[in-house]
Amino acid sequence: MGFNDGFEIIDIMFIIIPIFIVLVAGFILFMFIKGIKMWSHNNKQPRLTVAAVVVSKRLQVSGGGGDHSSSTWYYATFQVESGDRMEFSVGGREYGLLAEGDVGELQFQGTRYHGFTRNQAGE
């Protein structure tokens, strides 16, 4: 084992690290472009108000444990008169105000949730 044998690992690292950085940067760029496309697509869609029923709610929690904070995402699924179901990401406050079985008007634009107005009793 000679003096230069240890430098083979360093040479390999000079190849692996740049490849890893390029892959991570490529993934971030891909996700950014995908987000811009979705935003643009939603902006081109008409803003609709349709009769709907809240059929389910769910939440997704990630992280947490020990000293780490967690993140929570809230979702609500609505069924429209045609029988189609649509799931939207909603804010935590909105999630808390919605109840399964609520009937009202859903406002949305593409995949973007704008609100839900519950019908008054007797309507």
pLDDT per residue over 27-57, tens digit each? 999 999 999 999 998 889 999 999 999 999 9
Paired strand residues for 99: none
Q: Does the pLDDT value for residue 2 go beyond 80?
A: no
Pick from 122, 99, 115, 7: nearest CA to 53: 99
* Strand pairing category for 112-118 and 103-109: antiparallel
What CA–CA distance (Å, rounded) separates 89 from 63? 19
Q: Does the pLDDT value for residue 109 go beyond 70?
A: yes
Give the pLDDT score at 15.
86
Q: How much of the chain, in percent, has pLDDT values that exceed 90?
A: 72
- Global pTM reads 0.72
Q: Does the pLDDT value for residue 5 go beyond 60?
A: no
Of 37 and 11, more confident? 37
Domain spanning 46-118, CATH architecture: Beta Barrel (2.40)
Tokens standing for 120?
A: 């008054």
* Angle CA 111–115–117, to nearest 5: 140
Among 7-16, 66-75, 110-119, the range scoring the smallest mean pLDDT is 7-16
Rounded to the nearest integer, the mean pLDDT of the chain is 90
What are the structural domain ranges in the chain? 3-43, 46-118
What CA–CA distance (Å, rounded) separates 106 from 37? 24
